[in-house]
Amino acid sequence: MPESDNLPVPDGAVMVTLKIRRFNPENPDAAGWENFVVPALPTDRVLNLLLYAKGYIDGTLTFRRSCAHGVCGSDAMQINGINRLACKVLMRDILPKDGKPTTITIEPIKGLPVEKDLIVDMEPFFDAYRQIKPFLKTSGREPERERIQSQADRARFDDTTKCILCACCTSACPVYWADGSYFGPAAIVNAHRFIFDSRDEGAGERMEILNGVDGVWRCRMTFNCTQACPRGIAVTRAITEVKRALLFSRKAVVR
């Protein structure tokens, strides 16, 4: 490893600029953009570059990450204006083929209070998630063996089981930006997962919750959520299916 300015630079790496929006609650007046010049290999992910900046340049740089494999959803952030998981964005998809200088703009996701740098307060997001009761609801005696479900019944809600609660979809929604009281796409996706589960008996209760003023009828079908989802969930379709279920239940009150 050759070194440049006393920092390790891997063989074959090119230098790129991370333009990061900084915020420190202890000094809010100093909020703004800061540039970090770091080495990047085509096989790197944006998360690797952030870790390099934190490890070698500025240890106060703050962001969330955990599994680094696109499963935990911790490192959701805006990368070049798009909600992404930093651990899933490969540098080979960003680096220009002509070798021109590259700047990657990184900001916290929108719609949630910023706590520090790229970390936002996820509590409003998880509060909406908890309100839709994201667990199987059944009545009567517990069965002595597993609840049997056909492959067709399981496939009915397979897509929405993929949600990792990263908040990429919810924080990409302009309705959520304008009014944080909207449940948001992720909460509705997780309600969908149980509403259409043949083993569950709480569909009516969940649909009643989502039928309120902050529920599914706030969705304006912009498809931002579907485009932002790092798991490829058809979020807008799931929301539409919940709307249709409400309409056919003859309980819908569109506000």
Cα–Cα distance list, 52 to 1, 92, 149 (Å)? 14, 17, 47
pLDDT of residue 57: 97
pLDDT at 255 over 70: no
Output the six-digit token pair for 207. 């649909």
Is residue 207 very low, low, confident or very high in pLDDT (cuts 50, 70, 90)?
very high
- Which region holds residue 174: left if phi is over 0, alpha if psi is between -120 and 50, else beta? alpha
Which residues are CB-contacts of 125 (< 8 A; sequence separation ≥ 6)?
112, 165, 167, 170, 171, 184, 186
pLDDT at 254 over 80: no
Is this model's pTM higher than 0.85 or not?
Answer: yes
Q: What does the alpha-carbon distance between residue 127 and residue 151 come to, in Å, rounded to a whole number?
A: 32
Is residue 252 very low, low, confident or very high in pLDDT (cuts 50, 70, 90)?
very low
Q: What does the alpha-carbon distance between residue 84 and residue 109 come to, in Å, rounded to a whole number?
A: 9
Least confident residue range of 2-6, 83-87, 186-190: 2-6
Please check whether residue 70 is in contact with residue 230, taking contact to mean a CB–CB distance below 8 angstroms. Answer: yes
Please report, as a single letter, which amino acid is at residue 28.
Answer: P
Question: What are the φ/ψ torsions at residue 37 (nearest 5 degrees)?
Answer: -95, 115
Is residue 143 very low, low, confident or very high in pLDDT (cuts 50, 70, 90)?
confident
Mean pLDDT of 150-174: 97
Is residue 140 very low, low, confident or very high in pLDDT (cuts 50, 70, 90)?
confident
Q: Which single residue is written with the structure tokens 């930006």? A: 177
Percent of the chain with pLDDT over 70: 95
